[in-house]
């Protein structure tokens, strides 16, 4: 029998302490959750659930660190819209979770609080940048969690930790209160251990928000599983997504699931996404350009840490940013500033924007023929901590299968499909057309119920 929610909240600090070696939680805010419960918390669709949020989402009167020394001592004066919607739906938010600094990374190693560890093996990365949120769900500290997905930062850790991880359509969930990394990519996203709860959390946080100018007005429908509907879906297999860089066990499971779906009577059709190979280059040009602009606000004057170095104003800025930002954030700021500089903007930034449009057209063309795309989520299984941190190019390639969906802005979700011979999670990715989250949930639920290795 499930313990009463108040008892689960009270038990969270001890449970978190028992798993402290995973380093998934930055701030335990269970006392706030308990105070809300005692103060007459609202009843709603999430009333029985514990949740956590990535520490780049603001919650009033709580620290927001973005896992960066730059935001030392910062206490949020307001609450992000998706977080407020969780509270309004009755959720108990008990933790803010570790991440790559300012959500820049693919392993949750770039954190000023140290790396988060995978519950399937403490020497392995959990994926990133939302690794902390993935780990608290995978280790059953909470029922579900919010992360942010810019180029795969929820789907990739979901694959590495054996979870369902949804990146909604761009604009489907308000970004108000999400600390910006790359504003035209960032999307608040969901981790859960099953399709039903992922859908429920998504339905709570999705919907138009007048506080976000990029928020979509598309209505949000409630998910109700319909096996007949699921069976009617046509599934696309993109020929560009199975290549020599794909781990053999992931590739084998990918082909096995395709064979299973065919045996169940699904229509499976090969399609092409011809500009996929340009995705990583375009993504890192565009996101670093946006990051260099967004992170200019952290100057040591308005909030966060301030260098004590003596000198003029320019020296204060330089010293504050040099000591506050970690190496990966500095790398991306410098790269973004470079591609936006005079003489290089047309050569890199504008060309990357054109490539983004071509990738978007690839998806639109594919969805004229199929309802969903089935692809791998990651090219590898979880890798050991420290093996890629000094090789940024190899690290960036961890997102090779998730970045195209982010460039196009279409919804995509990792679904767990078993484990490798060594017991490590394997995930595959479902992608739908714009605002097609409900279609993803239908096939995800069918696979969850019927597929086994």
Which residues are tagged catalytic? 54, 129, 153
Alpha carbon of residue 201 to chain centroid: 14
Both structure tokens of 324:
């506050």
For residue 268, the SS3 value is strand
CB neighbour list of residue 306: distance below 8 Å, 6 or more residues apart: 300, 316, 320
Torsions phi, psi of 82, nearest 5?
-60, -35
Rounded to 10 deg, the angle between the 30-38 and 5-18 helix axes is 170
The span from the first CA to the last CA of the chain, in angstroms, equals 30
Q: Dihedral through CA 78, CA 328, CA 156, CA 247, nearest 10?
A: 180
Nearest to 186 by CA among 429, 408, 406, 413: 406
HSE toward the beta carbon, residue 230, CA cutoff 13 A:
18
Contact by Cβ (8 Å): 161, 119: yes
For residue 180, the SS3 value is coil
For residue 406, the SS3 value is helix
For residue 133, the SS3 value is helix
| DSSP letters for 14-49 | HHHHHTGGG--EEEE-HHHHHHHHHTTPPPSTTTT-
Distance in angstroms (rounded) separating the CA atoms of residues 109 and 99: 8
Contact by Cβ (8 Å): 107, 127: yes
């Amino acid at each position: 029998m499930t313990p009463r929610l108040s008892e689960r909240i009270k038990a969270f600090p001890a449970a978190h302490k028992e798993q402290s070696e995973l380093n998934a939680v930055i701030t335990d805010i269970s006392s706030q959750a308990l105070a809300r419960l005692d103060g007459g918390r609202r009843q709603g669709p999430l009333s029985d659930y514990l949740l956590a949020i990535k520490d780049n989402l603001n919650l009033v009167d709580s620290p927001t660190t973005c896992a960066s020394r730059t935001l030392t001592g910062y206490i949020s004066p307001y609450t992000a819209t998706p977080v407020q919607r969780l509270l309004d739906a009755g959720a108990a938010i008990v933790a803010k979770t570790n991440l790559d600094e300012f959500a820049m990374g693919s392993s949750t190693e770039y954190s000023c609080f140290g790396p988060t560890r995978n519950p399937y093996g403490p020497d392995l990365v959990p994926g990133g940048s939302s690794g902390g949120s993935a780990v608290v769900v995978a280790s059953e500290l909470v029922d579900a969690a919010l992360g942010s997905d810019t180029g795969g930062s929820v789907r990739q850790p979901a694959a590495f930790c054996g979870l369902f991880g949804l990146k909604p359509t761009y604009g489907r969930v308000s970004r108000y209160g999400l600390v910006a990394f790359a504003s035209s990519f960032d999307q608040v996203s969901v981790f859960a251990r099953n399709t039903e709860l992922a859908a429920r959390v998504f339905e709570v946080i999705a919907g138009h928000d007048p506080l976000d100018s990029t928020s979509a007005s598309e209505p949000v429908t409630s998910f109700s599983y319909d096996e007949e509907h699921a069976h009617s879906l046509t599934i696309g297999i993109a020929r560009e997504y199975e290549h020599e860089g794909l781990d053999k066990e992931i590739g084998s499971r990918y082909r096995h699931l395709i064979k299973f779906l065919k045996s169940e009577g699904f229509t499976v059709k090969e399609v092409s996404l011809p500009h996929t190979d340009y995705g990583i280059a375009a993504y890192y040009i565009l996101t670093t350009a946006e990051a260099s602009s967004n992170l200019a606000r952290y100057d040591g004057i308005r909030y966060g840490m301030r260098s004590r170095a003596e000198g003029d104003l320019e020296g204060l800025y330089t010293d504050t940013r040099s000591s506050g930002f970690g190496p990966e954030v500095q790398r991306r700021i410098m790269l973004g500033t470079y591609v936006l500089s005079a003489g290089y903007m047309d050569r890199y930034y504008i060309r990357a924007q054109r490539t983004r449009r071509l990738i978007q057209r690839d998806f639109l063309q594919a969805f004229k023929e199929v309802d969903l795309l089935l692809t791998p989520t990651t090219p590898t299984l979880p890798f050991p901590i420290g093996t890629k941190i000094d090789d940024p190019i190899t690290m960036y390639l961890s997102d090779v299968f998730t970045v195209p969906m982010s460039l196009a802005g279409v919804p995509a979700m990792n679904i767990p499909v078993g484990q490798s011979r060594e017991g490590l999670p394997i995930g595959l990715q479902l992608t739908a057309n714009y605002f097609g989250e409900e279609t993803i949930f239908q096939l995800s639920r069918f696979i969850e119920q019927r597929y086994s290795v």
